[in-house]
Structure 1
Amino acid sequence: MGFVVRLLAVLDAMLSERLRGGASEELDRGRLLVATLWVLLLCDVFFLLFYVPFVPYPGMVSMGVVCGLGYGASLLTLRWGVATRPAALMLCTMLTGGIMATSLSVEGGPEGAHPICMLIPLLAVYLLGPRPGLLFTLVGGMNVAVVVPLVHARVPGLGMRNFFTAFFMFGAWALCCLLIVARDHASRALEQALRAQRDHERKLTSLLENTEDVVCSVDVQGRLIAANPALVEVYRELLGEEPEPGRPLLPPGAPESLRKRWETCCAKVFSGKRVRFEASPSSLKHPRVLDLSLTPVLDGAGRVVGMTLFGRDISDRKEAEARLGEMHRNLLDVSRRAGMAEIATGVLHNVGNALNSVNVSVNLLAERLLQSRVPGGLTRATGLLREHEEDLCAFFLDARGRQLPGYLGALAGQLAEEREEFLDEVRTLQKSVEHIKSVVSMQQEHAHFSGVVERLDVTELLDDALRLHAVSLERQGIGVRREYTEAMMVRLDRHKLLQILLNLLTNAGHALMESGRPDKLLTIRVERVPPERVRIAVADNGIGIAPEDTPRLFTQGFTTKKDGHGFGLHISALAAREMDAFLSCSSEGRGQGATFTIDLPMSGEESRA
């Protein structure tokens, strides 16, 4: 290999500067020309020194000198010229002319004339092309096959031998043409591939240089291969210097913690694994969060030969996530307050209704007490007795006295009747007070802070939710059908589930009222579904939901109500997700009603039962 390099250097030294800096094909032709010319010059010297003195043919010396001068002139043309074609024409002309002159001068031809004839098509086609090569091949072939046999007709077998020489010359020309065509085709394909590759490289380079993402490539020794401007900027802020290709990406002076983390990641990547992590270096001038991805680069055999590093600034995304989390917490707080307000509304409805009953009972008792004639009759009877207390016996024998026992008996009967009526009203009053007490007690039970997970019975919670809506449902003429009997135990946040149920019951009531149908029916269904889940279904035969609205029901701000705000179902879906539950809806279309379902995880005790 070293000898070839030195030989090419010697050949290049004999070419002009233009040829050395030209196209590779032109340089290769120049090198071949120089080597061929020196070989022919050496052969010409041997011809003049060792062949011409021993043959009695005139003109051989002048022929050798002319060829030598032509070869020398070709070398000078290559040394000072700008193209190889003039030197190639001179070479092919001198070679063809020399062979023709020798074959015509020497009877029978020298022994080496036939191999030398093969150089004509080989050199002419490679140096000048197929068509000029055909011209030189025709001239040389006609000379060998036609002219020489005619001039030396006395030599036996010369015609057949020269015919085969000409035949092989044309065969060599054809093979050289095929090789040249194949080479040109391969060169064009290679040039197109290189052009496409350069175009892709230019686009990729433009993309990497203009992107704000950090991009670089590293070999298996951890040395930097290439880096884009974004990485250079981060590198400068982080380490206070510029990264240099060929040197380790992390210099020896890098912080120890950074080096250890880098070495750990490199070990994983070079073992064939992809590594991704987030980093927020404190030494950056502008604090930011980077999402870093390290990917191994494999060769054709599947071996790791390096890795690529991609880093994206996700600070804005992190801030957006933080704001979204804060908004989510605010929504949940608003949801909790809305749920408590809805509970309070239900409590007020129920308590208000009970207070109306209390008021009616109290007014009725007061009215009946005012209208009662028993106190007046008793007052008159006792007055008579006091008036005749000195002669009671005579009074009772009197006509008025004999009526007094009957009168007192009538008063006793009326008093007993009024007592029963008063007791009935007192019982009604007690029931109303008990109802108020139970509603307030239930409100206090559900007024805990959200987030407390407890084991509870879903059916009892449903009954509580229906009790809170009992007044409005009864007033609106909505029938309720309960399709559950056994207890269904779950372990979750009581307040969040109650909030969802109250929202679904409210929406169902609105849908039923908008439908305007007389047979308004609300169906509550509870069932077990595998694996270890409880499904609550709230179904109504109201106005239903359009198919195009179903996918957007749980989207924030979407509502089909004129006075709706679009938060109820969205907040309910968020609350369900926090409980590992799933809220969904199904409807066959407008006027076909709707069914909302909640899939809840069962508690541990119930799921093992």
Structure 2
Amino acid sequence: MAQSPRTWWLGRLDAFLSEAQRQSPPGELGRYRLLVGATLLLLVVSLMVAGSAPFFEPDVQARLGVGLGLASGFALALVFLRRWGSLRAASLLVCGLLVGGYMLATFAMPSPAIGAHATIMLIPALSVYLLGVRTGLLVTGFFCLNAAVLLPLYLSEFGARAPLFARPEMWISGVLDSVILLLGYGLSALFRMARDEAAATVLESERKLLSLIESTDDPVSALDPQGGLIIANTAARRLFLEAFGRDARMGDRLVAQSSEEKRAEWQAQLNRALQGHSVRYEVSFRAGERTVALDLSLYPILGEGGRPVGVTAFGRDITERKETEAKLGELHRSLMEVSRQAGMAEIATGVLHNVGNTLNSVNVSALLVAERLHGSRAPLLVRATDLLREHEADLSAFLAEDPRGRQLPEYLSSAARHVVEEQAALLEEMRGLIRNVEHIRAVVSMQQAHARFGGQVEQVPVSALIDDALRLHASSYERSGIRILREYAEVPPVPLDRHKLLQILVNLLNNARQALVECGREDKQLSIRVRREGEERLRIEVGDNGVGIAPENLARLFAHGFTTKKDGHGFGLHASALAAEEMNGRLSCVSGGRGQGATFIIELPMRGQEASA
């Protein structure tokens, strides 16, 4: 950022001051700068007097001596000011050099005109501004005494050369010079008093402002255009001490020890504020053993012409809020993990119900097979073959003449028919066994597949996923006499988390089954509808004609811990609502009241979670 001429000149003046002097309050810093500027100007004038001495005969030596002497004195005054730093002592030294040097010049180069030299107007102006009204009056009065009395006496050699008032023009000139000096003093004093009054007013305003900013526990500070500290309240100073290990001083840069990335971000935000914009952003930094988070607001300080001349910074310590948000986030993740595990447990329960019921069928089929094998005619065929083997030598005679032999063909035919019938029955039972085992395998595979894909976004055929959820409850629906109605519109696969949607569906289907069982009606009916709402939304409705929901319970149905079940925990619907929100969707419920059934509605974006990526 380019420096203005004023800033450049002030920087040159500040180079003669110590670091502590540059950190002085604005009023005192202004007097330091004026003292340096006046001393430098007087130093240059003194050198000019010394340099021009050859042109002023016969006062060459006097001018050279006075000029070099004053130049040395003013140079020493600058060294004294920087080394020892006392503004009043340095001001007394400079004013004393100016008065003493001028008096020395009047006596070394005696002339009535020298008393009216333009330089004399610096004496009341500097003395009043640097030393105050009273001390300035003493300095000005002493100089008036020199101009009105001492110089005319010296020029008349105290009456030795001529009568004291032989040349009245000298006395009149001295008196006029004194009057002009006193007039200059009066104007300077009026200016000083007006300035002091204005400064007192400003100081009072600053006290009120400081009282205002000190009344808050939030850090508040004002910065110059370079980002240097101008003023800060106790909270800001305390935070600065905690962050940097030392007290804040005027001109300190708030991000001097931060990383390059944070300094660049801070400079960008500061530049925006200096362009007249209000800026708000969050910043975090290390402060001792902890990390502090601030909600920082920057507002421009407008000067003449509405141009920004600085920035006010208001900070809100949001460390506790951030820590709370982090804890809530962790709690939310834990809740969702518990929800996922609860959903998996519910799915596993459905799997166990299905597998258990199917295993009952497998057990019955196995017993029937065992009974049929136990009563099989196959051992009779063995006995018949044994008879044939016994009469192998006279087989023709045995079959023709022996009563047992004559019955053997009919016996074999009957036994063969029974064996064929047994085989058909056993094959049918085995097919049933295979179907039941395949059903067990399919249910277990489905549960494993859904568990495996938890947390991933994929293209999910929603209708097929609903059928999977229904299959988990199929046996309990059948036992309870619940009729299932499906109304599936043509919907393309939707990108979403398969497990989260399955978790919601399993929970809603289980709640619907319980509501239907509790209602005690004969025509228990569970309806599932899938349809699109426009081009962007998918709507899944799970409705039942069960016990319904009281109107006063609808508003808090999804709140954590709320339940109407005796053995409920108020977790399932809350977790389902959270899962729907995580998929950029919504879970809601409508019910006509008790005994009127209920319909739960899942609304999801057709573009799924990818839409928010």
Task: State the TM bucket, normalised to the shorter chain.
Answer: 0.5 to 0.7
Per-residue CA deviations over 1:421-465 (Å, capped at 9, x if unaligned) read 222212211211221221222222222152222212111111111
Letter in 2 for 1:482: R
1:516 corresponds to: 520
Determine the C-alpha separation between the residues in 2 that align with 1:432 and 1:490: 32
CA contact (8 A) 1:294 1:310 kept: yes
1:448 corresponds to: 452
Q: Is structure 2 residue 233 aligned with structure 1 residue 233?
A: no
CA contact (8 A) 1:533 1:600 kept: yes
Determine the C-alpha separation between the residues in 1 that align with 2:466 and 2:423: 40
Determine the C-alpha separation between the residues in 2 that align with 1:243 and 1:376: 107
Letter in 2 for 1:391: D
1:533 positional shift = 2.3
2:274 corresponds to: 270
Q: Is structure 2 residue 196 aligned with structure 1 residue 215?
A: no
Q: Is structure 2 residue 317 aligned with structure 1 residue 313?
A: yes
Determine the C-alpha separation between the residues in 2 that align with 1:221 and 1:363: 93
Q: Is structure 2 residue 527 aligned with structure 1 residue 491?
A: no
Determine the C-alpha separation between the residues in 2 that align with 1:254 and 1:368: 90
2:357 corresponds to: 353
Determine which of 377, 391, 396 is the counterpart of 1:393: 396
CA contact (8 A) 2:500 2:579 kept: yes
1:482 positional shift = 0.8
Determine the C-alpha separation between the residues in 1 that align with 2:318 and 2:489: 53
Q: Is structure 2 residue 424 aligned with structure 1 residue 420?
A: yes
Determine the C-alpha separation between the residues in 2 that align with 1:243 and 1:385: 119
CA distance change for structure 1 residues 414 and 487 in 2, over 3 Å: closer, same or farther?
farther
Letter in 2 for 1:390: A
| Secondary structure of residue in 1 paired with 2:569 | coil
Q: Which stretches in structure 1 are left out of the alignment for 5+ residues?
A: 1-12, 14-197
Letter in 2 for 1:563: D
1:288 corresponds to: 292
Letter in 2 for 1:389: E
1:299 positional shift = 9.6
Letter in 1 for 2:583: M
CA contact (8 A) 2:227 2:254 kept: no
CA distance change for structure 1 residues 539 and 356 in 2, over 3 Å: closer, same or farther?
same
1:489 positional shift = 0.7
Q: Is structure 2 residue 488 aligned with structure 1 residue 460?
A: no
1:531 positional shift = 3.4
CA contact (8 A) 1:459 1:488 kept: no
1:597 positional shift = 1.7
Higher mean displacement: 332-341 or 595-604: 595-604
Determine the C-alpha separation between the residues in 1 that align with 2:387 and 2:553: 85
Q: Is structure 2 residue 597 aligned with structure 1 residue 596?
A: no
| Secondary structure of residue in 2 paired with 1:327 | helix
Higher mean displacement: 549-558 or 465-474: 549-558
Determine which of 491, 501, 504 is the counterpart of 2:505: 501
Per-residue CA deviations over 1:511-541 (Å, capped at 9, x if unaligned) read 2222222222111111011232221111111
1:332 corresponds to: 336
CA distance change for structure 1 residues 229 and 437 in 2, over 3 Å: closer, same or farther?
same
Per-residue CA deviations over 1:159-210 (Å, capped at 9, x if unaligned) read xxxxxxxxxxxxxxxxxxxxxxxxxxxxxxxxxxxxxxx99x97x8766433
| Secondary structure of residue in 1 paired with 2:451 | coil
2:380 corresponds to: 377
Q: Which stretches in structure 2 are left out of the alignment for 5+ residues?
A: 1-132, 134-203
Letter in 2 for 1:321: E
1:262 positional shift = 4.9
Determine which of 528, 539, 546 is the counterpart of 1:542: 546
Per-residue CA deviations over 1:373-408 (Å, capped at 9, x if unaligned) read x23532443344344333333333334433332222
1:583 positional shift = 1.8
CA contact (8 A) 1:237 1:285 kept: no
Per-residue CA deviations over 1:585-605 (Å, capped at 9, x if unaligned) read 22222222221122223359x
| Secondary structure of residue in 2 paired with 1:288 | strand
1:480 positional shift = 1.0
Determine the C-alpha separation between the residues in 1 that align with 2:354 and 2:255: 77
Determine the C-alpha separation between the residues in 1 that align with 2:565 and 2:488: 31
Determine the C-alpha separation between the residues in 2 that align with 1:293 and 1:362: 78
CA distance change for structure 1 residues 238 and 340 in 2, over 3 Å: closer, same or farther?
closer
Q: Is structure 2 residue 441 aligned with structure 1 residue 437?
A: yes
CA distance change for structure 1 residues 569 and 295 in 2, over 3 Å: closer, same or farther?
farther
1:294 positional shift = 1.6
CA distance change for structure 1 residues 573 and 217 in 2, over 3 Å: closer, same or farther?
same
CA contact (8 A) 2:292 2:319 kept: yes
1:575 positional shift = 2.0
CA distance change for structure 1 residues 287 and 418 in 2, over 3 Å: closer, same or farther?
closer
Determine the C-alpha separation between the residues in 2 that align with 1:530 and 1:579: 18
CA contact (8 A) 2:229 2:253 kept: no
1:236 positional shift = 4.0
Letter in 2 for 1:231: A
Determine the C-alpha separation between the residues in 2 that align with 1:535 and 1:545: 21
Determine the C-alpha separation between the residues in 1 that align with 2:289 and 2:550: 54
How many residues align structurally?
407
Determine the C-alpha separation between the residues in 1 that align with 2:256 and 2:351: 71
Higher mean displacement: 382-391 or 340-349: 382-391
1:266 positional shift = 3.1
Q: Is structure 2 residue 559 aligned with structure 1 residue 555?
A: yes
CA contact (8 A) 2:526 2:545 kept: yes
CA root-mean-square deviation:
3.6
Letter in 2 for 1:573: A
1:49 corresponds to: none
Determine which of 580, 583, 588 is the counterpart of 2:587: 583
CA distance change for structure 1 residues 561 and 226 in 2, over 3 Å: closer, same or farther?
same
CA contact (8 A) 2:490 2:531 kept: no
Max Rg structure = 1
1:311 positional shift = 0.9
1:254 positional shift = 7.8
1:6 corresponds to: none
| Secondary structure of residue in 2 paired with 1:496 | helix
1:485 positional shift = 5.3
1:227 positional shift = 4.1
Determine the C-alpha separation between the residues in 1 that align with 2:588 and 2:517: 22
2:101 corresponds to: none
Letter in 1 for 2:509: L
CA contact (8 A) 1:223 1:249 kept: yes
CA contact (8 A) 1:358 1:429 kept: yes
| Secondary structure of residue in 2 paired with 1:346 | helix
CA contact (8 A) 2:529 2:541 kept: yes
1:298 positional shift = 6.9
| Secondary structure of residue in 1 paired with 2:368 | helix
CA distance change for structure 1 residues 215 and 568 in 2, over 3 Å: closer, same or farther?
same
Determine the C-alpha separation between the residues in 1 that align with 2:459 and 2:318: 41
CA contact (8 A) 1:218 1:249 kept: no
CA distance change for structure 1 residues 523 and 301 in 2, over 3 Å: closer, same or farther?
farther
CA contact (8 A) 1:526 1:534 kept: yes
Determine the C-alpha separation between the residues in 2 that align with 1:556 and 1:408: 75
Letter in 2 for 1:572: S
Determine the C-alpha separation between the residues in 2 that align with 1:252 and 1:499: 49
